[in-house]
Amino acid sequence: MQSSIPDLFGIKIPLIQAGMVWNSGWRLASAVSNAGALGVIGSGSMYPEVLQYHLQQCKAHCSAPFAVNIPLLYPDIESHIETVIQHRVPIVITSAGNPATYTQRLKDAGIRVVHVVASAKFAEKAQKAGCDAVVAEGFEAGGHNGREETTSFVLIPLVKAAVDIPVIAAGGIATGQQMLAAMILGAEAVQIGTRFVCTPEASSHESFKDAVIQAGEGATQLSMKKTVPVRLLKNAFYHKIQAAEDAGADAKSLKEILGKGRAKKGMFEGDLEEGELEIGQVAALVHRIQPAAEVVAEIWREYNTLLDSIKKGA
Amino acid sequence: MQSSIPDLFGIKIPLIQAGMVWNSGWRLASAVSNAGALGVIGSGSMYPEVLQYHLQQCKAHCSAPFAVNIPLLYPDIESHIETVIQHRVPIVITSAGNPATYTQRLKDAGIRVVHVVASAKFAEKAQKAGCDAVVAEGFEAGGHNGREETTSFVLIPLVKAAVDIPVIAAGGIATGQQMLAAMILGAEAVQIGTRFVCTPEASSHESFKDAVIQAGEGATQLSMKKTVPVRLLKNAFYHKIQAAEDAGADAKSLKEILGKGRAKKGMFEGDLEEGELEIGQVAALVHRIQPAAEVVAEIWREYNTLLDSIKKGA
């Protein structure tokens, strides 16, 4: 299973921790990068000065390359772009927006740029914009997602066929077994979010982490399809907004129900009833809190053990 | 990659053609079984005497084992159950209903019984009912589907962990590459529907087959979630019923819009506007009509070539 990702990013293991709002600050990113994978700071929930602080801390605690995820719809996007350039962040993962806008500027600053897509069509756009790789995010992934609902099983081969740049698979991956399946389908690396929420280093609230490890099959749903689709745990807030959507509420009404600050309330402050609890479907396969370095090592060991057993014809 | 399925069913290749209403009569089932995989007659769209005719033809044209799919909600279910017992059909695949009702009766008649599930919870029920195997059908599959929307990437490991009987993966599989990924995730065989629609032997209308090979990413959607969720092509009928659902229509109104005979109208009579065109998300990866035997041989060759290249460390 060949992968150009370790060389491209200067890392040892073709595994990327997803940049997640309210979850992935410098503690998680540095722990993952120190373990040989790629740690990612999720800047979407950070004020400009908060991102600066996390970058300083990450550099101080980590000698390996790390990345920053920037949702391109971030209100103060210019500030974030300037910050990652000034701090000479080696890799930037952009999402939720047009890759044509900032990719060249980041590349001119010597930064590797990866864009997150949910379709082959947008993967082609990312390649055309000069991105070094794409993250193909399937329907099963947590948080914001595409409208076409293409799952990893179908999306990975579709994106692989559409572009020449490396494909990083995201959505439905939490184990070495799933990592190998994604690589079989054409990915050169995987991006994992949900499992890294279940680490002491994730900055989210303990109650949220507990809810994730308790979550079984059917515990999440892609909701708010009339505005921005988001996969989240089915809590009281979910049932309220889903009932409104089912009853015919329009995008405006749904945005009013959503209001402001629900993701922070749920994931950072631990309000399991009224908060927005973004997580992937694969939460059903994650049963305990483990240090991030142990998660990286375990997934990589599972992956290689399974690959070796196949090579031996087991 | 070990599999107990060839021994269990008396076949050569751990690949099962899905039983699909208006698509899989004796021509498709016998062609698939003669090619070394397991052909399946989809009895859900057949009157009792029509099923009898297809069984006679299938036996006349095929020396290898074949199966019949019986949706347990079929109106004249007793007749279908009696028919498969009288005809000594070797394998029956039940779906859409409670496996406890008929499994023992079929087993007592010497029939291997497989039940289709969309969750680990129902897989456990199927095992308890005495089923010999389960088909784990992911969200990406065509036709009727579960409410929990669990995708193959997550569902296969979940079901594998829940039962001891063999797991057959369905949903999102059309190539040898996808077959290998499913086996990596814990399946012992795969069930493939969409790709077998695109064969001359499928009994559906040419116009429907053409629409399937033209379908790109995002061309299907799981719709009618307030009644029985179905994945179908987004045609005029889909847009009409989806708009009603989005506007808050209840199950009763949706059933009125659906009416009777839409699946036949679409898939069998070729009405691409007003018919219900059930198909999987993986249609985006199927680009041509090929004989069923060629489909079986090509998938099996791709699977083994890829497996060999991994064994050689490529």
Does residue A152 sit at the B interface (CB-CB below 8 Å)? Answer: yes
User: CB burial class (10 A; 0-12, 13-18, 19+) of residue A164?
Assistant: exposed
Q: Which uninterrupted H or E stretch holds A290? A: none
Taking the mean position of all CA atoms in its chain, how far away is CA A1? 23
B143: left (phi over 0), alpha (psi -120 to 50) or beta: left
The reply to whether the predicted model has a pTM over 0.95 is: yes
Q: Which amino acid is at A305?
A: T
pLDDT in tens, B97-108: 999 999 999 999
Backbone phi and psi for residue A208, each to the nearest 5 degrees, phi listed first: -65, -45
Helix/strand/coil percentages in chain A, nearest 5: 45, 15, 40
What CATH number is given for B5-203+283-311 in this structure? 3.20.20.70
Interface check B284 vs A, CB under 8 A:
yes
**pLDDT-derived band at B5, boundaries 50, 70, 90:** very high
Instruction: Chunk chain A into consecutive blocks of 10 residues (it has 314) and report each block's average pLDDT, rounded to whole numbers.
Output: 95 98 98 98 97 98 97 95 98 95 98 98 98 98 96 98 98 98 98 98 98 98 94 98 95 94 98 98 98 98 97 80
pLDDT for res A15: 98
Q: Domain A13-203+283-306 maps to which CATH number in 3.20.20.70, 1.20.1250.20, 3.40.50.2020, 3.30.830.10?
A: 3.20.20.70
Q: Check residue A304 and give its pLDDT.
A: 98
pLDDT tens digit string along B157-205? 999 999 999 999 999 999 999 999 999 999 999 999 999 999 999 999 9
Please state, in angstroms and rounded to a whole number, the distance separating the CA atoms of residues B184 and B35.
24
Interface of B with A in 37-96 (CB under 8 A): none
Q: DSSP readout, A63-98?
A: -S-EEEEEETT-TTHHHHHHHHHHTT-SEEEEESS-
Strand partners, A192: A17
The answer to whether residue B314 scores a pLDDT higher than 80 is: no
Residues paired with residue A135 on neighbouring β-strands, in sequence order: A116, A168
A158 touching B (Cβ < 8 Å) = yes
pLDDT score for A176: 98
Residue holding tokens 């749920």?
A: A266
Contact assessment for residue B183 and residue B202, using Cβ atoms and an 8 Å cutoff: no
DSSP for A142-165, please give it: SEE--SS---HHHHHHHHHHH-SS
CB count, 10 Å around CB of B105?
Answer: 13
Write the CA distances from B44 to A97, B75, B271, integer angstroms. 45, 9, 20
**B222 — contact with chain A (CB < 8 Å)?**
yes
Mean pLDDT of B259-276: 97
Closest Cβ–Cβ partner in B155, B157, B248 for A248 = B248
Nearest to B138 by CA among B231, B52, B72: B231
Task: Please give, rounded to a whole number of angstroms, the shortest distance from the CA of B123 to a CA of chain A.
Answer: 12
Is A153's CB within 8 Å of B139's CB?
Answer: no
Arithmetic mean of pLDDT over chain B: 97
Question: What angle, rounded to 10 degrees, do the helices at B292-311 and B176-184 form?
Answer: 60
Nearest residue to B192 (alpha-carbon basis) of B103, B279, B288: B279
Mean pLDDT in residue range B216-230: 95
CB contact under 8 A, B154 and A282: yes
User: Can you tell me whether residue B33 is helix, strand or coil?
Assistant: helix
* Domain boundaries, given as residue ranges, for chain A: 13-203+283-306, 216-281
φ, ψ for residue A93, nearest 5 deg: -110, 115
The better pLDDT of the pair B96, B68 is held by B68
pLDDT value for B279: 98
CB A162 within 8 A of CB A191: no
Q: Which site among B122, B184, B232 would you substitute to test the A interface, given the most A Cβ atoms closer than 10 Å to its Cβ?
A: B184
CB B134 within 8 A of CB B114: yes
Place of tokens 């299973």: A1
The span from the CA of A142 to the CA of A192, in Å, is: 10
Q: What is the pLDDT of residues B107-124, one digit of tens each?
A: 999 999 999 999 999 999
The encoded tokens of residue B297 equal 């041989």
pLDDT-based confidence at residue B47 (cuts at 50, 70, 90): very high
How buried is A60 (Cβ within 10 angstroms: 0-12 exposed, 13-18 middle, 19+ buried)? exposed
Quick one: pLDDT at residue A314?
A: 56
Tokens 């629609």 belong to which residue?
Answer: B197
